[in-house]
Amino acid sequence: MRRLYCIGALALALAGSSAAAPVPAPGVTVDITSRRDAFAGQSFGPAGPYEVLTGVAHLTIAPGAPANKAIVDLDKSPRDAQGLVHYDVDLQILRPRDPQRARRVMLYEVVNRGMRLISTMNGGSIMDIDPFARPGNGFIMRQGYTVVWSGWQGDITRPGLLAARFPVATDQGRPITGRVSTEAIFDDTKTTSMILPYPAATLDQAGARLTVRERTDDAERPLAADDWHFDDARHVTLKRPADMDAGAIYHFTYIARDPIVMGLGFSGVRDLVAFLRHGGAAAGNPLADIAKAPCERGSTGACAHPGGGAFDTTIAYGASQSARYLRDYLWQGFNRDGAGRRVFDGMLAMVPGARQTFTNMRFAEPGRFSRQHEDHDVPGFTFPYTYATMRDPITGQVDGILKRCTADGTCPKLIHLDTSGEFWQAGASLVGTGGSDADVAFPGNVRAYMIAGGAHAPGMAPPMCQNAANPFNYSSVVRALMVDLVDWTNGRQAPPASRWPKRSELQEVAALASPDLSAMGITWPRVANRPVAPVGSRGWPVLVPKVDADGNDVAGIHLPEVAAPLGTYLGWNARKAGFGQGDLCLVFGSYAPFASDKSARGRDPRLALSERYAGNSRATRYAEAAETLRRERLLLAEDTGER
């Protein structure tokens, strides 16, 4: 049976004025459509069995409220008689079946293009379509967390993904149009169709332009009008030039119509999480009963958390796109709810690099992001880069990711985790330098770590990549840092000190030449992804980690696999011949194993396994590295065994 949960509109004073006129508070109505056991009823220690709640959250928002005025085109959305804008988001909750066995910790995972990736923290795969079928190592459930997901991306249409349904902006009922650019890289020789992100306002070719180039830094070459045509408002067919390879970049600009109000993806998370945290049972909050669980801070009476409500702490977790979302969410000032409270007490942003998202803009496409070869000029990769507020050496602007939340006192405790790969494809060096020639200190509420030798997407290397995949799995660090973050937000203890490369531990891409891995078919790149420079400027310098004699990163967290290596773990991969050779290969890493002995080494300058490890020395080194990280709280005891 369907159950409706609703929180009514309340009167709120406008921020900064005690005599301001009231505006409606956000309305949240949760419609739970199903409730079922998770993991076939399996029990997880003190938390017991888990259940899954699935439904839809219906939200209203007042365009005139100060906290909402920055949402692009919200003022051009359809409104009801009270002047409110309506929208819906898919909702899913994984929680202990017995509320008194739950911990008062909400873990909100920002979905990645509608997908839940929490299986990776449980030791599973991102390919686990149903995260409630196999528990993996059960880490999340053994912690007793309540996990919440909701749709936030307004252009998700594939069934089974968590989506959001946002209004289309209009000019008093008339269509809004504007110039849009999109890109296609087919990585095959047969595809001839491009799908457009927004419908074309006209099918007249005179208002559109299609170009092609083989690599990012090549000049664009226009295709003649006879070589392409509109099939309809959402599809273009083209004739591919014979002299362009499979990895060629096709760039199409056209006049589009009907922009979606994508910025609601920020307010929707803000308002839903605030409701689930603070709304009572009478208001219909399906998680209100968790208030009966023991306090996180060990008090015997009512919980003393300054935010109050069912949860003592709320943690946001995001990986890749979802981590970029968290940086954007903070930068744009959405961590303050309608009552002036902090929404998330902690955030774990995993592999975002220095980027934000292409979300709160007209004709936004949150699923697109800048890489060195693909979508290089997509918005969302520009100043500010650092969490600290600083003056940009290129534009002169003063800003920082935490500038707004610092001003209103709603900043969370934040852990930023990147791999070596983000220094190549996501400008991660800018997180620590801001584009200057010196280190920029992290604020006291921020810890930043780099996984030495890690790749953005470990274990993957599709056919267009030249090198073997980097197999190095670093999910063990994520588990440890999640425990550290919960402890930090609950006032128990701060996480370990940051392990972020200093400026002296970074170098220009052009300086990388050794070790010589050509015997393994690997050539050091001469390109990295950089923000698009403002006209007339040199742009922001992007640096990459220095490496040791094996080619492994010098700085960062050295997990046992890298501290006692079996090969060279690289955060980058290169496109091979026929696919834009020489440019970086998406977000994948590389691996070059060591030879077994000196006779098999040939021209490989790296010591062979028999030369570097005698007897049981590798196992000993591995165990020592694991134990050191456990003492430093960068590994859990359960993750110290050799993998």
pLDDT given for residue 117 in this prediction: 85
| Residue of 568, 574, 638 lying closest to 606 (CA atoms) | 568
- CA nearest 205: which of 220, 225, 223, 222? 225
- Are 286 and 421 members of one domain? no
Last residue of a domain, one of 216, 234, 257: 257
416 shares a domain with 539 = yes
Same domain for 125 and 50: yes
Are residues 567 and 544 part of one domain? yes
Q: What pLDDT is recorded for position 25?
A: 60
Dist. CA 50–CA 57, nearest whole Å: 21
Tell whether 317 is covered by a domain: no
Residues 43-94 have pLDDT tens digits of 999 999 999 999 999 999 999 999 999 999 999 999 999 999 999 999 999 9
Per-residue pLDDT at 146 exceeds 80: yes
**593 and 621: one domain?**
yes
Pair (277, 244) in one structural domain: no
Q: What HEC string does 200-220 produce?
A: ECCCCHHHCEEEEECCCCCCC
CA dihedral 259, 263, 264, 266 (to 10 degrees): 160
Q: Which of 311, 343, 378 is the last residue of a domain?
A: 311
What percentage of the chain exceeds 90 in pLDDT?
88
pLDDT of residue 1: 32
Omega of the bond prior to 384 within 30 degrees of 0, cis?
Answer: yes
In three-state secondary structure terms, 326 is helix
Q: Is the pLDDT of residue 186 over 90?
A: yes
244 occurs within a structural domain: yes
- Mean pLDDT value across residues 133-141: 92
Task: Check whether residue 79 and residue 226 sit in a common domain.
Answer: no
The answer to whether residue 584 sits within a structural domain is yes
Q: What are phi and psi of 509, to 5 degrees?
A: -60, -40
Shared domain check, 374 and 307? no
Question: For residue 128, what pLDDT is reported?
Answer: 65
Instruction: Specify whether 405 is located in the same domain as 300.
Output: no
Q: Domain residues for 215?
A: 177-257
CB 560 within 8 A of CB 454: no
Same domain, 184 and 62: no
CA-to-CA distance for 108 and 121, rounded, in angstroms? 13
pLDDT given for residue 58 in this prediction = 97
| For residue 559, pLDDT beyond 90 | yes
Quick one: pLDDT at residue 13? 25
CB atoms within 10 A of CB 18: 6
Read off the tokens for 118: 């929490």
Q: For residue 269, report the phi and psi dihedrals to the nearest 5 degrees.
A: -65, -45
349 belongs to a structural domain? no
For residue 448, give both structure tokens.
């930043």
Q: How many domains does the chain have?
A: 3
Q: Do the domain assignments include residue 328?
A: no
Q: Do 612 and 508 share a domain, yes or no?
A: yes
Task: Enter the tokens of residue 554.
Answer: 């010098």
The pTM score is: 0.94
Instruction: Indicate the angle between helix axes 321-331 and 264-278, nearest 10 degrees.
Output: 80
**Is residue 478 in a domain?**
yes
Residue 172 maps to a domain = no
Check whether residue 74 and residue 163 sit in a common domain.
yes
Degrees (nearest 5) of the Cα angle 207, 213, 215? Answer: 140
**342 vs 334: CA distance, rounded Å:** 9
The answer to whether position 557 is within a domain reads yes
